Amino acid sequence: MARIALIGASGQAGTRILKELSDRGHAVTAIARNPEKIAALPNVSAKAGDVADKDALAKLLAGHDAVVSAVRFADCDPRVLIDAVRAAGVKRYLVVGGAGSLEVAPGQRLIDQPDFPQAYRPEAGKGAEFLAVLKQEKELDWTFLSPSAEFVPGERTGKFRLGKDALLVGEQGSRISFEDYAVALVDEIERPAHSRQRFTVGY
Which CATH number belongs to the domain containing residue 197 in this structure?
Answer: 3.40.50.720
pLDDT in tens, the chain (203 residues): 899 999 999 999 999 999 999 999 999 999 999 999 998 999 999 999 999 999 999 999 999 999 999 999 999 999 999 999 999 999 999 999 999 999 999 999 999 999 999 999 999 999 999 999 999 999 999 999 999 999 999 999 999 999 999 999 999 899 999 999 999 999 999 999 999 999 999 99
Domain count, the chain: 1
Q: What DSSP string runs through 33-78? A: SSGGGS---TTEEEEE--TT-HHHHHHHHTT-SEEEE---GGG--H
Q: What was the pLDDT predicted at 13? A: 97
- For residue 81, give its domain range: 3-202
Q: What percent of the chain has pLDDT over 70?
A: 100
Q: In one letter, which amino acid is 56?
A: A
Q: How many whole angstroms separate alpha carbon 18 and alpha carbon 186? A: 10
Sign of the CA dihedral running 31, 94, 183, 171: positive
* φ and ψ at residue 130, rounded to 5 degrees: -60, -45
Q: What is the pTM of this model?
A: 0.96
Can you tell me whether residue 197 is helix, strand or coil? strand
